[in-house]
């Protein structure tokens, strides 16, 4: 091979590499550009593993630890179902709360081994105990009413409540070790200019142990809020869709002085889960180039980096007889999904596994 051919081949190789890099950077800019809604679907980030009939559609994920899933039940709130990650065996336990005169309306279970917590924000109260005997002791009552709650550690909780003056949603934290210590974060949730501060700020509350961050994902607009354990704002992230304003209609009911939805809202982020430094959001909106057949027959999960707020990838979870997922939980190796009365497991493959194992070199303050 003469020198001229070597030079030509070298030049072609350089141009090819430059073109590939240029196209990659261009595609990344297109995906994240304002007003553009384009998803990236890498091949097979998750693969179906197993399906289990759990007979009722009232179960929800209450926690996970060391290969065991813990399921709560809306219709039987004192019953815990533990299922191994291979979906091969299960065990039921009954929570035994100490006696009280409370009238429960909305008991919620969170399992954070070795502890578990049973709470009802309408009382309000929090019970807690150890999973080795499931005996629940009253830890808190009459501190603050709340609508959502997530344990940060064994004594601290993040919660969502309503302002007494306006009923607007507000986030905060409290510590059981310091009786009466409650911290409200007035500016974390932002209502829209013409919003009510209730429906337009509705969302999902999460806590990431791996990054020590509180995360709140709005249901009806393309935004999520990330704060540290002290409820200090770190940043406001945006999902890749372009719904910057919640499309809701609210009517005022004079009787009882209440607000209610007067029309079905456009849900943007239906459900969310967090694992390590990744945020998984079930989006209901179709991207510009999403395959119509695939999108219609599946629930779309978009993945973001909690530390940077960057969009990473998307994947599909197939529907069952047109039913979408209603709850899901992510572990470092698997994704578990509840659809109707079915529990399904998906293995996280290499593409997504590599992202879960990554750590950003420019972490934001915790």
Q: pLDDT tens digit string along 265-297?
A: 789 999 999 999 999 999 999 999 999 999 999
| Gap between the Cα atoms of 27 and 150, Å rounded | 37
Write down the pLDDT at residue 359: 62
- Name the more confident of 136 and 258: 136
Q: 114: cis peptide before it, omega within 30°?
A: yes
For residue 288 the two structure tokens come to 């510009």
Q: 124: cis peptide before it, omega within 30°?
A: yes
Whose tokens are 């969009």? That residue is 311
Write down the pLDDT at residue 264: 64
Write down the pLDDT at residue 277: 95
| Gap between the Cα atoms of 108 and 117, Å rounded | 8
> Average pLDDT of 221-227?
97
pLDDT tens for each residue of 10-30: 444 554 544 444 444 444 444
Q: Go through 325-341 and write b for each residue having 16 or more CB atoms within 10 A of its CB, e for each that does not.
A: bbbbbbbeebbbbbbee
180: confidence class by pLDDT, cuts 50, 70, 90: low
Whose tokens are 């499931």? That residue is 134
254: confidence class by pLDDT, cuts 50, 70, 90: low
What count of residues does the chain have?
Answer: 366
Write down the pLDDT at residue 257: 53
How far is CA 162 from its chain centroid? 21
- Name the more confident of 271 and 322: 271
Write down the pLDDT at residue 22: 47
> Average pLDDT of 356-362?
63
Task: Average the pLDDT over each of 41-55, 144-158, 188-202 and give the range with the smallest value.
Answer: 188-202
User: Is it the case that residue 113 has pLDDT exceeding 90?
Assistant: yes
Average pLDDT, the chain: 86
User: Is it the case that residue 70 has pLDDT exceeding 90?
Assistant: yes
| Gap between the Cα atoms of 283 and 285, Å rounded | 6
- Give the H/E segment covering residue 50: strand 46-53
Write down the pLDDT at residue 255: 54
Cα angle: 4, vertex 10, 12; to 5 degrees:
105
- Name the more confident of 324 and 258: 324
């Amino acid at each position: 091979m003469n020198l001229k051919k070597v030079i030509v081949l070298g030049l072609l190789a350089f141009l090819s590499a430059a073109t590939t890099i240029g196209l990659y950077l261009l595609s990344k800019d297109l995906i994240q550009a304002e007003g553009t809604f384009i998803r990236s679907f890498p091949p097979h980030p998750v693969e179906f593993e197993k399906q289990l009939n759990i007979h009722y559609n009232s179960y929800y994920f209450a926690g996970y630890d060391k290969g065991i899933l813990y399921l709560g039940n809306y219709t039987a709130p004192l019953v815990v179902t533990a299922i191994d990650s291979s979906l091969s065996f299960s065990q039921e336990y009954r929570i035994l709360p100490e006696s009280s005169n409370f009238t429960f309306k909305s008991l919620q279970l969170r399992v954070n081994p070795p502890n578990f917590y049973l709470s009802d924000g309408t009382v309000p109260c929090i019970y807690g105990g150890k999973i080795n005997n499931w005996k629940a002791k009253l830890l808190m009552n009459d501190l603050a009413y709340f609508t959502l709650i997530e344990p940060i550690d064994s004594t601290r909780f993040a919660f969502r409540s309503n302002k007494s003056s306006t009923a607007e949603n507000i986030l905060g934290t409290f510590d059981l070790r310091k009786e009466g210590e409650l911290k409200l974060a007035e500016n974390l949730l932002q209502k829209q200019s013409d919003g009510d501060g209730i429906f337009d700020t509705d969302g999902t509350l999460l806590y990431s142990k791996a990054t020590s961050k509180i995360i709140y994902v709005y249901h009806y607009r393309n935004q999520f809020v990330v704060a540290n354990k002290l409820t200090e704002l770190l940043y406001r992230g945006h999902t890749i869709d372009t719904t910057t304003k919640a499309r809701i209609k609210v009517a005022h009911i004079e009787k009882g002085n209440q607000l209610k939805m007067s029309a079905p809202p456009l849900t943007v982020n239906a459900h969310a889960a967090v694992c390590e430094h990744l945020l998984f959001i079930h989006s209901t909106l179709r991207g510009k180039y999403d395959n119509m057949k695939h999108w219609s027959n599946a629930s779309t999960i978009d993945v973001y980096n909690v530390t940077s707020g960057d969009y990473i990838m998307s994947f599909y979870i197939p529907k069952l007889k047109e039913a979408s997922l209603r709850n899901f939980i992510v572990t470092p190796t698997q994704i578990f999904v509840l659809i109707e009365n079915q529990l399904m497991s998906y293995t996280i493959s290499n593409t997504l596994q590599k992202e879960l194992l990554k750590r950003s070199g420019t972490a934001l303050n915790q």
